[in-house]
């Protein structure tokens, strides 16, 4: 089953369509990377699939290659930002885990020391 390419009213679909401005730092055929408006680290970038799917699990189920593309673009941006291979990748999934935008997105965080466990 193929997901709908866009979802009316979805913030990240609007960014992908360039209807809403964003600080874009990388892109591929399948994915777009832009800086988070409320950064939690010196580097805080969101990498999203261009197609609308709600979360990472749905992306893996419908198009595992596009999930891989999201992760590879995050690595490219981490390299561009000079993170030297030290960064954190996070997919919040579900409201209880902190997901607030229901278009799959990978958080790339870096440029400061990271603690574990996360909050
Ligand atoms: P999450 O809470 O995991 O769903 O992450 C959503 C992220 O989107 C948050 O870190 C927000 O700061 C970020 N965000 C919300 N609106 C925008 C926007 N217009 N441009 C860039 N990032 C945004």
The pLDDT tens digits for 78-93 are 999 999 999 999 999 9
* Confidence (pTM): 0.95
Selecting among 30, 52, 105, 107, the annotated active-site residue is 105
Domain that holds residue 71: 15-110
Question: Do the domain assignments include residue 106?
Answer: yes
CA 108 to chain CA centroid, nearest Å: 7
CA distance 68 to 56: 11
**Which strands, in side-by-side order, build the sheet including 31-35?**
24-27, 31-35, 43-49, 106-110, 88-90
CA distance 4 to 1: 10
Question: Do the domain assignments include residue 117?
Answer: no
CATH of residue 97's domain is: 3.30.428.10
Ligand 1 atom closest to Cα of 22? 20
Question: Do the domain assignments include residue 5?
Answer: no
Question: Do the domain assignments include residue 60?
Answer: yes
Task: Indicate the number of domains in the chain.
Answer: 1
Q: Within 13 Å, how many C-alpha atoms sit on residue 84's CB side? A: 3
**pLDDT, tens digit (0-9, with 9 covering 90-100), for 34-73:** 999 999 999 999 999 999 999 999 999 999 999 999 999 9
Q: Which of 12, 22, 33, 38 to mutate to test the pocket of ligand 1 (most atoms within 8 A of CB)?
A: 38
Neighbours of 109 (CB within 10 A): 21
Question: Do the domain assignments include residue 68?
Answer: yes
Question: Do the domain assignments include residue 87?
Answer: yes
Cβ of residue 101 lying under 6 Å from some atom of ligand 1: yes
Question: Do the domain assignments include residue 116?
Answer: no
Which of these, 48, 47, 34, 44, lies nearest to 110 by C-alpha position? 44
């Amino acid at each position: 089953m193929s997901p709908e390419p866009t979802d009316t009213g979805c913030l990240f679909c609007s960014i992908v369509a360039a209807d809403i401005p964003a600080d874009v730092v990388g892109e591929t055929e399948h994915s777009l990377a832009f800086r988070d408006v409320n950064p939690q680290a010196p580097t805080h970038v969101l990498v999203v699939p261009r197609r609308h799917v709600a979360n990472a699990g749905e992306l893996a189920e419908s198009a595992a290659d596009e999930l891989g593309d999201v992760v590879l673009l995050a690595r490219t941006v981490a390299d561009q930002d000079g993170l030297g291979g030290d960064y954190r990748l996070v997919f919040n999934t579900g409201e209880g885990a902190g997901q607030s935008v229901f278009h799959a997105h990978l958080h790339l965080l870096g440029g400061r020391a990271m603690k574990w466990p996360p909050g």
